[in-house]
Amino acid sequence: MADMTCSRAVLLHLDAAALTDRQQLLLERSVGTSRAVYNWGLATINEWEARQYAWLRERARAVTRTEDEAQTLLGDVDWRRGALLQAPGDLRRRPNTASLDRRFTELTRDPNSRFHWWHVENHGIPRHAMSTALGNLDTAIVRYWNHVGPSTRPPRKPRKDGRPAGWPRFKKKGRSKDSFAIFNLSVTGRRTDPWKVIDKGHRIRVPNLGSLRVHENTRRLRRWIQRGAIPKSARFVRRGTGWTVSITLDVPAEVISAPVTTRRQRAAGAVGVDVGVHSLVALSSDELIAGYPSAAFWRRMRRLQRRAARQRGPTHEQGPSAGWVETTRRIARLQRVDTVRRRGRLHEVTKRIATRFVTVGIEDLEVAGMTAAPHPKPDPDHPGSFLPNGRRSKAGLNRSIRRAAFGEIRRQLLYKTSRYGACLVIVDRFAPTSKTCSGCGAVKATLRLSERVYRCEQCGLVLDRDLNAARNICSLVLTPSPVDTADVKRCDTPTPSRSRPARCWGPADLPKGRPQRPAMDLPSPPP
């Protein structure tokens, strides 16, 4: 029986000042090659789908009389599934990572191909940069097909390029995320690790790139390796003006101890967590935890963006000015620093909650609906015109909600509670936690967002709005309704059901693996 292992990741930030010219060139070449291969693979799949749909259209026209009947037949999924069984072999199955990998190898040996340089030049780019791009493309397409089908949400509009919403886009330099990965850092099955962190505590050695200096101390990574963990991959991502490397480790199951509830957690009991904008987290223990302040960030960001607008940017006649390039670099660095600080604050808060309480309750919020733009208001007196709908005033609230990262807080609590022996409870999103009085249980008919203090007309309770909601969440956690666990879905894919009660989620409920690709990919007719 094979040894049971689990994955752990260690994130490190590269020291950009310590990168050599050769290392910087290899990083740039790797992300550029990854982007080019991704675009080539997407173009190949788009061409294959166009040929498949053209064959189906000709097949439908041959068995029908009019064009309308042919279009109706094309919309029938069962007919398309049966017709594809008689299609040529190259049209039956979509090109996947393996087939695209073989085709790319053939192109590198073709003197007239755009990728012929891969075979003849000493470029130093690892083969994994290409396989990473094709793997990411296959994952994006699988994600699209898994979301196609019956849904409670209204269908989204197709894109300007004619493709449906959710279909992968072509990557563009300067806009898409630059990343690539290097696999097979260690030989599979060997406990003697040939890939090791080098000395001095702030350096790692990666194949093809050599010795890289990082800002963090590598003590945590070295301790994992000393306990038997095997490094498998290193993923490099450009973030702002710097680079990060995420090293994935295969850790034996016997190394990781089972989560144990501490005495402090058992004494604290349950807690209700209400996330918000004014206070990042409100706990039912009458504690308000603020998030990372953003006033200074927005003040500096506005100043830099105005400076960049006054300077000469890129034009068709000549390139951008040196001042504009420097200002944009400062903007990217400011955004990166703000992201790192907000992420650190979220990890600090979520770990504090997961290690202090034995049961944590949180609401099932629909952030997409909370940040949606308001519906347009047609002007009855002037057809074709619209009245103000408050979209500009709601934009600030939407920006604050996104910066608060409600979904990220829930994601971190989901895996941290399982690691520290706690239990996560997801409360129904339709429960009136904000409108209900935590003292007497009276429910208000309406409660405006501007009312930051909850005042109960029945018992006279005066309490902060977020603390009142946190107390109600805690009460729902302590008194859950009986439910058949077979009829409840995972908390990472909730369904908007008003009758779904709260349920406790532990380590056994974590999502395992990724969804598999359908047996046959059927093309959707163009809009």
Domain residue limits, the chain: 5-20+177-252, 23-147, 263-295+342-375+405-509
* Range name among 79-83, 255-259, 399-403, 429-433 with the lowest pLDDT average: 255-259
* Range name among 102-116, 195-209, 259-273, 284-298 with the lowest pLDDT average: 195-209
pLDDT of residue 291 exceeding 90, the answer is: no
**Residue 504: band (very low, low, confident or very high) from pLDDT cuts 50, 70, 90:** very low
Alpha carbon distance 296, 77 (integer Å): 55
Please identify which of the residues 363, 428, 509, 521 carries the catalytic annotation: 363
Q: What is the mean pLDDT of residues 110-127?
A: 88
CATH of range 263-295+342-375+405-509; options 2.10.240, 1.10.540, 3.30.70, 3.30.420: 3.30.420
pTM of the model: 0.76
C-alpha distances in angstroms, 291 versus 6, 271, 298, 341, 374? 32, 19, 15, 10, 27
pLDDT digits (tens, 9 = 90+) for 432-442: 888 999 888 88
Contact between 247 and 221 under an 8 Å Cβ cutoff? The reply is yes
pLDDT of residue 235 exceeding 50, the answer is: yes
Partnered with residue 386 across adjacent β-strands are 378
**Residue 148: band (very low, low, confident or very high) from pLDDT cuts 50, 70, 90:** low
Name the residue with higher pLDDT: 31 or 318.
31
Token representation of residue 200: 């001095």
**Residue 196: band (very low, low, confident or very high) from pLDDT cuts 50, 70, 90:** low
Please identify which of the residues 178, 250, 274, 338 carries the catalytic annotation: 274
pLDDT of residue 510 exceeding 60, the answer is: no
State residue 219's pLDDT score. Answer: 87
Tell me the average pLDDT of the chain.
82
* Range name among 56-70, 463-477, 482-496 with the lowest pLDDT average: 482-496
Query: Is 509 in the active site?
Result: no
Please identify which of the residues 49, 138, 178, 466 carries the catalytic annotation: 466
* Range name among 88-102, 195-209, 284-298, 360-374 with the lowest pLDDT average: 195-209
* Range name among 151-165, 246-260, 489-503 with the lowest pLDDT average: 489-503
In the chain, the largest separation of any two C-alpha atoms, in whole Å, equals: 83
Query: Is 363 in the active site?
Result: yes
State residue 60's pLDDT score. Answer: 87
Residue in the structure block whose two tokens are 């196609």: 148
For the chain, state the CA radius of gyration. Answer: 27
